[in-house]
Amino acid sequence: MKNTFFLFLISILVFSSCSTEEPWQPLFNGQDLTGWDTWCGPTEEGGVPVGLNKDPLNLFSVVDLEGEKVIKISGEINASIATQEEFENYHLVMEFKWGEKVYSTRNSGLLYHSYGDFGAGIGVWMSSHELQLKSGNIGDSYRMGKSYCEIPMKKNAEEKYIYSKGAEKAPSIPDTETRIIAKDADYENPVGEWNKIELYCLGRTSVHVINGKVNMINYNSGKYLGPNNIEPLSKGKIQLQSEGGELFIRSIKVQPISEIPQELLQ
């Protein structure tokens, strides 16, 4: 009897230790776009933006694909779909792949720490950090609107700024040549195959992980208010872009974290 009671206590302790991990929060419920807002830009060159939660071209929808419900982003015009909730200190995992329709190029982005008004970035998106999803550039870091960070970087032979582990951190500033810093390696799967995107955000640091491989780290995230005027930025909404190519998202979820795995920062 004592042995049985002892084993019972051990099982309770083991269960408790295994239950300390924070649960995942799905951002897509598998049925509809509940929890998201849309903001659509002009439907024609020189036109006025369509605006908030009006989507006459059905740019954002839920469709059946390969036997499951997925988010479809058409890419026909520039537009945003954004979470209504803000997030801070989290691990995000998203699975996406490109479709067949291309209007200009297979371009999109996962925009995080989004703040302020739609339209601050290229007339459409909220100010934010962009984890680039453009085919051939997945993982690049882009300053959308008035965001700021510092990245270990160097210039390559083509005078292009590249993320470089161990290099000195330098400012990535909007509306300058450092607004976009290229990934250090390409881990994208071929068009038509699913890609797994992971984003770790803790405090003012963020890590881009593409199909299990780190190819970008941002430090000292901030709102860019002018030269030598940076306000810390560690949270915000999550946006996804419609920007030229059809893509599908079968899952997107977040989990609260208290640390970034050390092996990702080395």
Other beta carbons less than 10 A from residue 257's beta carbon:
15
Cα torsion through 109, 196, 116, 85, rounded to 10: 150
Task: Give the contacts of 130 (CB within 8 A, at least 6 positions apart).
Answer: 109, 110, 111, 140, 141, 142, 143, 144
DSSP-derived secondary structure letter, 57: T
Task: Give the contacts of 136 (CB within 8 A, at least 6 positions apart).
Answer: 186, 188
Percent of the chain with pLDDT over 70: 92
Task: Summarize pLDDT for 46-101 with one digit per residue, the tens.
Answer: 899 999 999 999 999 999 999 999 999 999 999 999 999 999 999 999 999 999 99
Six-digit token string for 162:
């590249």
Residue 127 pLDDT level (bands cut at 50, 70, 90): very high
Prediction pTM value: 0.91
